[in-house]
Chain A
């Protein structure tokens, strides 16, 4: 049977599920901790076959994918997908280009431009790091005064990434968003994620709770289209129910699916392995 390599740097619930399902089904799964790799030019090691890129570190995951893709490994998701999904603005541009509803967004590189952007988008305004995750450092600011204070804090940082200001309109929603896991061009699970008490962010990592969501055909097609425009084979598409309908705000190329699996009962790890085996057989 085809061997699948799994690139990881931390074993989360998801990686453990992949390992357990592979063991149960007799699928050879080779766990490679990328923290121990040495990437050299010229190359000294190839990994023929297929690999699942499951690193929690964006940087380490992209490097592993880039390096082994060049040697002929089929990496899911490909490095290019992670590059796009790791950049919220680049993702937004692709969604926009495909006509997929997305919150109005602005990116600025100075405090003055950021304040102008907020005036155009209106308050409250949502500020996010360009490449953050788990709701980390996401803030909703109610007026120009609070935004100025936020920007001053960021200006004091020595990290150039902190000087990229990503602003987004606040979408009024019913206190939940929708996480849809897409694998190989199919919707395998959708959940509503409800924000925990006292928070407005619904990330499961922050304590959000999951309930099954039945998307209609139009909704499923929208999620698959979002996955497709970033080139994603295994992704988590996050959307909100805005006043005008569903809006996709993010596509995750290293999807954590514990909440979706628990909320729906779908064996997502098994579906991922099935897809990897199908792809390897092509």
Chain B
């Protein structure tokens, strides 16, 4: 399914098996989004920025 990019209005593809918390990006402008809800429709929010304590 697809969602609309909040940044440029482009179409953001979201795989049917996407999980909540997964990161997707707009192919047009590169903006990253986090999948907030998956169901009959998909809800995206701005992806969190990388924080100092992130990693392995």
Interface residues of A (CB under 8 A from B): 8-11, 15-16, 19-20, 31, 33, 56-59, 86, 129, 131-134, 136, 159, 161, 236, 252-256
CB-nearest residue of chain B to A256: B56
A residues in contact with B51, CB < 8 Å? 57
A–B complex contacts, Cβ < 8 Å, 21 sampled: A9-B21, A10-B34, A10-B48, A11-B19, A11-B20, A11-B23, A15-B21, A16-B19, A16-B22, A19-B19, A20-B17, A31-B19, A31-B20, A31-B21, A56-B55, A57-B51, A57-B54, A59-B53, A133-B54, A134-B55, A254-B55
Q: What is the CA–CA distance of A49 and B30 in the complex, to the nearest angstrom?
A: 40
Q: Is the beta-carbon distance between A10 and B56 smaller than 8 angstroms? A: no
Q: What is the CA–CA distance of A234 and B53 in the complex, to the nearest angstrom?
A: 19
A residues in contact with B16, CB < 8 Å? none
Least CB distance from B56 to A in Å reads 4
Q: Is the beta-carbon distance between B55 and A133 smaller than 8 angstroms? A: yes
Q: Is the beta-carbon distance between A254 and B23 smaller than 8 angstroms? A: no
Most buried by B among A56, A136, A254, A256: A56
Within 8 A of A (CB), among B38-56: 48, 51-56
Least CB distance from B44 to A in Å reads 13
B residues in contact with A132, CB < 8 Å? 52, 55
Most buried by A among B20, B35, B56: B56
Q: Is the beta-carbon distance between B22 and A236 smaller than 8 angstroms? A: no
- Please pick, from A9, A15, A19, A254, the residue contacting B56 in the complex, using a CB distance under 8 A: A254
**14 further A-B pairs in the complex, CB-CB below 8 A; given A133-B54, A256-B56:** A9-B21, A11-B19, A11-B20, A11-B21, A15-B21, A16-B22, A33-B21, A57-B51, A58-B53, A58-B54, A134-B54, A252-B55, A252-B56, A253-B56
Least CB distance from B48 to A in Å reads 7
Q: What is the CA–CA distance of A218 and B56 in the complex, to the nearest angstrom?
A: 25
CB-nearest residue of chain B to A161: B52
A residues in contact with B20, CB < 8 Å? 11, 31, 33
Q: What is the CA–CA distance of A15 and B23 in the complex, to the nearest angstrom?
A: 12
Q: What is the CA–CA distance of A134 and B56 in the complex, to the nearest angstrom?
A: 7
Q: What is the CA–CA distance of A131 and B54 in the complex, to the nearest angstrom?
A: 9
Q: What is the CA–CA distance of A11 and B54 in the complex, to the nearest angstrom?
A: 13
Q: What is the CA–CA distance of A57 and B19 in the complex, to the nearest angstrom?
A: 18
B residues in contact with A159, CB < 8 Å? 52
For the complex of A and B, the 10 pairs showing the least CB-CB separation, nearest first, are A133-B55, A252-B56, A11-B21, A11-B22, A58-B53, A11-B19, A56-B54, A59-B53, A254-B56, A133-B56
A residues in contact with B21, CB < 8 Å? 8-11, 15, 31, 33
A residues in contact with B48, CB < 8 Å? 10
Most buried by A among B17, B22, B55: B55
Q: What is the CA–CA distance of A10 and B22 in the complex, to the nearest angstrom?
A: 6
A residues in contact with B19, CB < 8 Å? 11, 15-16, 19, 31
B residues in contact with A33, CB < 8 Å? 20-21
Q: What is the CA–CA distance of A134 and B34 in the complex, to the nearest angstrom?
A: 21
Q: Is the beta-carbon distance between B23 and A10 smaller than 8 angstroms? A: yes
Q: Is the beta-carbon distance between A57 and B56 smaller than 8 angstroms? A: no
CB-nearest residue of chain A to B53: A58
